[in-house]
Amino acid sequence: MVDKEDVNRMRWAARRGMLELDLILEPFVSLRYAQLDEPDRHKFQQLMLCEDQDLFVWLMLRGEPDDKELTGIVSQILQFTHSAADDR
């Protein structure tokens, strides 16, 4: 089980310098982060250490991470982002 402090830390980490990233990452953290299994939570934490420019490229479907470990969590974020609000 994920504690509230961990979710709050990731919510803070998801606040980036670009509005586009904030609009993608904040809802994902709020609605899905706590449901991720431990390995995926770790991958998300690693993703939050990446540069905004890299996150922008990956989340705008202009490229993929070189690190295949991050590709999976990026795919989950994109799937969440492109799903209907009722399916979240």
**Alpha carbons 78 and 48: distance in angstroms, whole number:** 15
- Mean pLDDT of all residues belonging to the chain: 94
- Concatenating the DSSP letter of every residue in 3-20 gives -HHHHHHHHHHT--SSHH
**Alpha carbons 13 and 39: distance in angstroms, whole number:** 18
Range scoring the smallest mean pLDDT among 16-20, 34-38, 62-66, 83-87: 83-87
- Give the residue extent of every domain in the chain: 4-87
Q: Assess whether pLDDT exceeds 90 at residue 20.
A: yes
Q: In the structure encoding, which two tokens stand for residue 38, read together? A: 């431990």
Q: Assess whether pLDDT exceeds 90 at residue 17.
A: no
CB of 71 within 8 A of CB of 64?
A: yes
Q: pTM value?
A: 0.91
CATH among 1.10.760.10, 3.40.50.300, 1.10.150.250, 3.40.50.2300 for 4-87: 1.10.150.250
pLDDT confidence of 16, banded at 50, 70, 90? very high
pLDDT at res. 71: 97
